[in-house]
Each structure stands twice: as C-alpha cells, then as structure tokens.
Amino acid sequence: MKTISRYFLLFSVLVSLACVVSATAQSKSTGNVIGPENVSFSSGTETVHGVLYRPQGAGPFSAIVVIHEWWGLNDWVKQQAQMFAEHGYVTLAVDLYRGQVATDPEMAHELMRALPQDRGVAYLRSGVAYLKTLKYVKANRIGAVGWCMGGSFAMQLAVAEPSLRAVAINYGALETDPAQLKKIHAAILGNFGAHDRGITPKDVADFAAAMKAIGHPADVKEYPDAGHAFQNPNNKAGYRPQDTADADSRMFAFFARYLK
C-alpha cells in the first residue's frame, strides 16, 4: 500500500509555494444549519475531537466526514463542513492534529510529518463510528470528503472503511495497488489539477485505469488550467473560482446520488 510519506516529500515544498492560510477567522452558521458544535469521541484509548454541523430538523440525515488539509482544522475546512450541511448532510470535521492549527508552511509540514497514517485513518474510522451513534444520522448513508492531505486520507479511508457509501478525493495522493483497491465499497469521485506537480496527470490516469480494471470505475476529472489546492481561496496564486464551482457542483451531485 502506498503511504502518505510520499505526500510529505512532495507537498512540503509545493503547498508552501501555493498556499497561505488564515487560522484566526471564525466560522458562521446560517439559519438552516445547527453548529458548529464541538464534539469528542473515542479512538482506542484516545479521545478525538471534531466539529459537527447538521441541518435543522429531526432527520435522519445522511452524513459526511470532512477531512482537513495539512494546515489542520481551520476556518476554511469548517466552512466546507458547513457548506455540505447546508445541502442537507450532517458533517463531522475530524481534528487529526489534536487541536493544533498551522499558521505557516513550516509548521504545517511538521504537523503532517508527525501524523502517522495509521493513527489518522483510525481517528477517521472512529469518526464514522461516532456518526452512526447519532439518532439523526442514517447509519447506512455515510461518506467522506477531503482536500490535499485530507484527500489522501479520504483515499485511505475508502480502503479501510467498507461501510462508506461515497468518497470525494480532491487532489490527494492515490492508491493503485489492486489488492487495496478491491477493498473499496464506496463510489469514488476525484477532482484534480492538470498542473499539480505532486498528483500528476499520470497518477490520476493510473488510478482511473486501476479502478476500471477491477470493475469499480471512479469518476475523475482533471481541470486543465488548475494546479494543486485550486479550490482554496487562501491559495492566492492558484485559486480558480470557476473550477472550484464546478468541483463543488460535481460533489453535490455525487453525494446526492449515492448518499440520499
């Protein structure tokens, strides 16, 4: 199995060139969403924290695990969780960094390198298990979405968690080992930038071919003028609003098809 160690090496430089993040802004809820609510749940002997959003009403609702970039559980990721909640999902943004949020690329690199892949996947699987305990969640309609480092973890969570129904990977490192891919039960959607020097067009093509070869085609799209992290407006040089709107629309339609 590929690990995100490759990801550490590639993106320590690439993302630092692409992204500048603000960790101090505050998320705001709209009238049709309850949250943000700080929650905690167990993962083995550890306690994991996250932020929960949910639609107004009794439910039950489908749910999505939201996986942050290498910056940590910052405002932008919370905004994405809120956005999906506004579309009718319970969303749980899991904190993989134990409360730390990076304020510069050097810190982000250190936090990402200090996160073992198995621990991150375990935290996320525990988040899925936690969602299943909530009375307003449809336990058999849970998906996941991630960006950047979170996209890599979304990929690995799809392999590790057979109960997931749909997983969206946004410019994350991809698995191509057929033995691992055969463990995936979820529908897979991917959004990538053709100018991403970490997740290259060849990586995307190899992944799509490997999924097709095992009879589990993935819906992948490359944006011809986009690079890495093109969906994050904090990436001043690389943010592409039209491509972001298209990627969001693809995800909304994808989750509506497989989760609702």
Q: Which of 253, 235, 243 is nearest to 191 (CA)?
A: 243
Distances, alpha carbon 210 to alpha carbons 35, 50, 179, 190, 214, in Å: 39, 33, 10, 14, 7
**Sign of the dihedral through C-alpha 252, 230, 93, 53:** negative
How far apart are the C-alpha atoms of 1 and 70, rounded to whole Å?
A: 21
79 with 91: CB under 8 angstroms?
A: no
Q: What is the pLDDT of residue 127?
A: 98
Cβ-based neighbours of 195, under 8 Å, separated by 6 or more: 225, 226, 227
**pLDDT given for residue 31 in this prediction:** 66
* Nearby residues of 107 by Cβ (< 8 Å), 6 or more positions away: none
pLDDT tens across the length of the chain (260 residues): 444 445 444 544 444 444 443 333 333 445 699 999 999 999 999 999 999 999 999 999 999 999 999 999 999 999 999 999 999 999 999 999 999 999 999 999 999 999 999 999 999 999 999 999 999 999 999 999 999 999 999 999 999 999 999 999 999 999 999 999 999 999 999 999 999 999 999 999 999 999 999 999 999 999 999 999 999 999 999 999 999 999 999 999 999 999 99
Give pLDDT, residue 257: 98
168 contacts 66 by C-beta, under 8 angstroms: no
User: What are the sequence ranges of the domains in the chain?
Assistant: 5-22+30-259
For residue 21, the model assigns a pLDDT of 38
Q: Which CATH superfamily is domain 5-22+30-259 in?
A: Alpha/Beta hydrolase fold, catalytic domain (3.40.50.1820)
For residue 201, is the peptide bond before it cis, meaning its omega torsion is within 30 degrees of 0?
no
Closest-CA residue to 248 (of 218, 223, 212, 213): 223
